[in-house]
Amino acid sequence: MKFPGLFSVFLLAIFNINAQTPIDTIVAENGERMVIYSDRSWAYLKDVGFDGVMNPALQKYLASKNFDKVQTWCNDRCFTSSDHYGLGSITDTLALDLGESEAFTMPVPGVVTSRYGYRKYRYHQGIDLNLNTGDSVVAAWSGKVRYAQYNSGGYGNLVIIRHKNGLETFYAHLSKVIVSPNDEVKAGDIIGLGGNTGRSFGAHLHFEVRFFDAPINPEEIIDFEARKLKKCDLLVHRGILRPGAKPSDIMDEHDHDHGQSVASVAKTPTKTSASYYKIRQGDTLSKIAARNNTTISRLCQLNGIRQTTVLQVGRTLRVR
């Protein structure tokens, strides 16, 4: 197989001091692609034609709302825009399945050194976790690697993984990237080594959680002290997509956006007699679940609906 310019790429790799940093992508005569790393290793890019849709139901719902943009599958861009694909116009609350706790792994065991939210001069869109250079960094959930290269925008060596629930996670400032774009990874798989690359003042992992490019406070989802998920369903609404938003479990009434509150989801009751609820204007699955002391998953199971189903005013739902 002939790769034009391959020898010159290898020469460039010899003088690149960042080991295993992707420096070029080469297209072969048969259409296959391979990525060349600065340590002169290489890997094939698999599933080049993948369209990025990992949650068809969610994608269909967002398309039905006529968003100007949808998140495409691109190995060369971070997608950290300021418009967040117009998600501020979402009027519904979407419930994303985070999976059971066994499906989640802490990316690193280190303590939190800097939280999500506004800093003195800029907005911190993730959470920083302590580590030593060379420590293993693992995938928080299973998914597919969308981006794995050096980022000049401040992230340094960066890995982005897209997950089936519609989220993406960012792992920044790595000293070494050990996955390639389009690789499939499992929760707990090593994706890189901790470091201090990019705009960083000491070894740490900058970790972000995003929904269609909009950053979400990772502490909305993860208890970093207990090193486990806070919940199995993430309720996505305008409130948590707001820059600097606190986690729902520490919000007060004033913090909630446009009256959309996120109530604690109680355990499924043991009572087995059938009970029904008529949907009102402004209802969401989270509100109905909280009002009837049940869970979103249970409502979906009883009524044969999905968590992204648009609720029709006047429709009757079985709640027990």
Q: What pLDDT is attached to residue 269? A: 30
Q: Residue range 23-37: average pLDDT?
A: 65
Q: What pLDDT is attached to residue 70? A: 59
Q: Residue range 53-57: average pLDDT?
A: 85
Q: What pLDDT is attached to residue 130? A: 95
- pLDDT confidence band for 236 (50 / 70 / 90): confident
Write the pLDDT tens digit of every residue in 95-142. 888 876 568 999 999 999 999 988 777 788 999 999 999 999 999 999
Domain boundaries, the chain: 6-44, 56-249, 276-318
Q: Which CATH architecture has domain 276-318?
A: Roll (3.10)
- pLDDT confidence band for 185 (50 / 70 / 90): very high
Write the pLDDT tens digit of every residue in 148-181. 999 988 999 999 999 998 899 999 999 999 999 9
Asked whether residue 262 carries a pLDDT value surpassing 50, the answer given is no
Q: Which CATH architecture has domain 56-249?
A: Distorted Sandwich (2.70)
Asked whether residue 250 carries a pLDDT value surpassing 90, the answer given is no
Higher pLDDT, 288 or 185: 185
- pLDDT confidence band for 207 (50 / 70 / 90): very high
Higher pLDDT, 28 or 108: 108
Q: Residue range 236-246: average pLDDT?
A: 82
Arithmetic mean of pLDDT over the chain: 77
Asked whether residue 94 carries a pLDDT value surpassing 60, the answer given is yes
Q: What pLDDT is attached to residue 123? A: 82
Q: What pLDDT is attached to residue 167? A: 93
- pLDDT confidence band for 288 (50 / 70 / 90): confident
Highest mean pLDDT among 16-25, 36-45, 234-243, 300-309: 234-243
What lies within 8 Å, CB to CB, of 52 at 6+ separation is 71, 72, 73, 74, 146, 162
Asked whether residue 84 carries a pLDDT value surpassing 80, the answer given is no
Q: By percentage, how much of the chain surpasses pLDDT 90?
A: 32
